[in-house]
Amino acid sequence: MSKVLIVAELDGGKLRTATLSAIGFAKKMVEATGGAFEILILGRDVTAAAESLRVYGAAAVLVADHVALQNPLADKYARIIADVAHERQTTAVAGAVSTFCKDILPRAAALLDAAMLSDVVEVRPEEDGWVFKRVMYAGNILATVSLRGEARVFSIRAAAFPPPVKGEGDSPIVPVSVRADELPAGTEFVERAIRTSTRPDPTEAKVVVSGGRGVKNAEDFERLIGGLADALGGAAGSSRALVDAGIAPNSLQIGQTGKMVAPDLYLAVGVSGAIQHLAGVKDAKLIAAINKDPEAPIFEVADYGVVGDLYQLVPELIGLLKK
């Protein structure tokens, strides 16, 4: 018998789709050995999001709605998660792998004195317990592990569990009482800075178009790299050289000292392919490169490559894509 508690994640009042994968995980556990799962949603004015969660077959949608929970501060959220899990005799707490859960779940696990597994990609029952698979060392190792103890906390890799199909909207909504004055107040919310860019973050996008030293100035970067990214519905990225030169913003830097990306398609435009940059794209599924130097090391890692001037090729490519 399992009793699973899923922690839902909101982004600006809207439910993040990764939460559905966590529900998929919960369903898998429940289907295997029986039991039930509940969804806990925390925040302020979350009624709409809570309503949308009633259709997945949860035993209850628990709503902690309070002004003190307006922003996801780990110390407050973790305390409520731990209290709810304790009260409802939960055997497993789970959420999707995200910055939100990385921040909050380990703290909740500590409060529950529970073992925790991150990056879980598989779960199956075994004799008297469960066996999990999780990725380690940036995807180089798949570890098979089991946990001791009653309570367990998990973060779930979204891609590993399919979102559940919608059913009838019949899960009851159960309010959770929040006593704000008893919550920890160690962290203070200062501000929320939102990227103004309309493009997705390179770490989340399925397609990343990245510019290197071949791009001469900021206008060209926006026009060519940004333009191509928009045409492909992807994110823009940059090598260190462009960030150094002030052509691309720091937040777009990809590589050992920048962001690690794992898109389905990585399009390297005018990027020579220094190891410091390539270390950041090693998880890309497909790499394509445009460079005028046929000797550029990028062609050694690229699945497809075009030798040519990006100033000629990229506008053509954008033109073709727009047709």
Q: Indicate which single residue of 298, 310, 313, 314 sits in contact with other proteins (rule: CB under 8 A).
A: 298
Using a 10 angstrom Cβ sphere, with 0-12 exposed, 13-18 middle and 19 or more buried, the burial of residue 10 is middle
Q: Rounded CA gap, 236 and 204, in Å? A: 11
294 binds other proteins (CB under 8 A): no
273 binds other proteins (CB under 8 A): yes
Question: Which residues are 36's β-sheet partners?
Answer: 3
Cβ-proximal residues to 28 (8 Å cutoff; 6+ apart), any chain = 123, 161
Count of residues in contact with other proteins, rule CB under 8 A: 20
Nearer to other proteins, 171 or 253 (CB): 253
Q: Hunting for tokens 């990028």 — which residue is that?
A: 298
Stretch that binds other proteins, among 2-10, 88-96, 223-231, 276-284 (CB under 8 A): 276-284
N-terminal to C-terminal alpha carbon distance within the chain: 56
| Rounded CA Rg of the chain | 23
Site for other proteins in 130-149 (CB under 8 A): 137-138, 140
DSSP 181: G
Q: Indicate which single residue of 79, 163, 256, 315 sits in contact with other proteins (rule: CB under 8 A).
A: 256
Q: Indicate which single residue of 15, 236, 241, 317 sits in contact with other proteins (rule: CB under 8 A).
A: 241
Shortest distance (Å) from residue 47 CB to other proteins: 41
Q: Indicate which single residue of 257, 264, 286, 309 sits in contact with other proteins (rule: CB under 8 A).
A: 257
244 binds other proteins (CB under 8 A): yes
Shortest distance (Å) from residue 245 CB to other proteins: 7
Q: Hunting for tokens 């003190």 — which residue is that?
A: 68
Q: Indicate which single residue of 275, 294, 320, 323 sits in contact with other proteins (rule: CB under 8 A).
A: 275
Cα–Cα–Cα angle for 314, 315, 320, rounded to 5 degrees: 95
Nearer to other proteins, 140 or 177 (CB): 140
Please choose, from the candidates 247, 224, 240, the residue with its C-alpha nearest in 3D space to the C-alpha of residue 274. Answer: 240
Nearer to other proteins, 208 or 274 (CB): 274
State both tokens at 128. Answer: 């008297």
Shortest distance (Å) from residue 106 CB to other proteins: 18
Torsion angle, alpha carbons of 255, 257, 260, 264, to 10: -10
Q: Rounded CA gap, 321 and 323, in Å? A: 5
Site for other proteins in 160-219 (CB under 8 A): 213
Shortest distance (Å) from residue 275 CB to other proteins: 4
Task: Give the residues lining the site for other proteins (CB under 8 A).
Answer: 137-138, 140, 213, 241, 244-245, 256-257, 273-276, 278-279, 282, 297-298, 300-301
